[in-house]
Amino acid sequence: MISFMRRFVDFQMHLCNAFDRMLPEEYRVDGDNYFTSVVIPRYLKPKYRIYDLGGGKTPCLNLTQKKAAEIYIIGLDINQTELDRAEKGIYDETICADITSYQGNSDADLIICRALLEHVRNVDAAFKAIVSILKPGGCALIFVPSKNAIYARLNILLPEGIKRKILFTLFPMAENHQGFRSYYHKCTPKDFKKIVNQYGLEMIDRKCFFISSYFSFCFPIYLLWRLWIYIFRLIVGSQAAESFMVVLKKRFHE
């Protein structure tokens, strides 16, 4: 039964990918991949002191990138066990702390925060911590799924046990890095714009993404979802994003 389900899902995903190739490029850019392969390398500089927030066992950088740029990486995560499972040598230092209550030392040249903020109850408190970690002139690279996405709404509504069982049955490869409780507090492009202005930060880049893989297990559902994204975007613009990324710079005067 499991083997049949896996073959069925794989075939459905193949159909979804074939359909997506016919869409405009702006509807085909995978946000997480763009963030890790384009945005992060763009802001890496030699000798940087970098905080990876919530990376745990799967940090955003690898040893090759670290050695090439001779950077110092600090992993900050709420779970020390997750930090300890990361590739040996990737973190120069680890901090087990809740980002919503952490007070930094203004020593980071760069912060990388990928798919973390949807998991915190209070995004404002997380932003206070981010500001406290950054040096003046330092940048924070943030990628986050949007609360307005259908999968996010389902994530909030469904009981944790049922949600995890469905997710890991359809996408077993997600078990190692997904399934954590999500709140999506203020996780929309519009909310982020307001927050940035409150905490002495300057938004120097932003990009919204209009694709995710959650409904690719069934092509008819995926097709309806794609139609919804197009209509929703016509009505609310960037608020229809499935995910988005921002690059924020800490001003020299607060």
SS (H, E, C) 14-79: HHHHHHHCCCCHHHCCCHHHHHHHHHHHHHCCCCCEEEEECCCCCCCCCHHHHHHHCCEEEEEECC
CA geometry: angle 61, 33, 214, nearest 5 deg: 125
Chain Cα centroid distance, residue 91: 20
Query: Which amino acid does the sequence have at 215?
Result: F
pLDDT tens figures, 89-142: 999 999 999 999 999 999 999 999 999 999 999 999 999 999 999 999 999 999
Kindly tell me if the per-residue pLDDT of 62 is higher than 80. Answer: yes
How do beta strands 201-209 and 243-250 pair? Answer: antiparallel
Lowest mean pLDDT among 47-51, 161-165, 191-195, 216-220: 161-165
Query: Which amino acid does the sequence have at 26?
Result: E
Output the domain CATH number for residue 177.
3.40.50.150
Q: What percent of the chain has pLDDT over 90?
A: 76
Quote the number of domains for the chain: 1
Kindly tell me if the per-residue pLDDT of 246 is higher than 60. Answer: yes
Q: Which structural domain range is residue 190 located in?
A: 2-250
Please give the pLDDT value at position 9.
82
Kindly tell me if the per-residue pLDDT of 177 is higher than 80. Answer: no
C-alpha–C-alpha distance, residues 245 and 34, integer Å:
9
**Per-residue pLDDT averaged across 159-172, rounded?**
57
**Per-residue pLDDT averaged across 141-146, rounded?**
97
Please give the pLDDT value at position 43.
97
Please give the pLDDT value at position 10.
87
pLDDT range class, residue 2, cuts 50, 70, 90:
low
C-alpha–C-alpha distance, residues 59 and 69, integer Å:
16
Give the residue ranges of DSSP H helices in the chain: 2-20, 31-34, 40-43, 63-69, 80-84, 123-133, 150-157, 160-170, 189-198, 219-236
Please give the pLDDT value at position 253.
66
Count of beta carbons in the 10 Å neighbourhood of residue 67: 10
pLDDT range class, residue 218, cuts 50, 70, 90:
confident
Kindly tell me if the per-residue pLDDT of 161 is higher than 80. Answer: no
pLDDT range class, residue 160, cuts 50, 70, 90:
low
Q: What percent of the chain has pLDDT over 70?
A: 89
Instruction: Please state the φ and ψ torsions of residue 145, each to the nearest 5 degrees.
Output: -70, 150
Kindly tell me if the per-residue pLDDT of 188 is higher than 60. Answer: yes
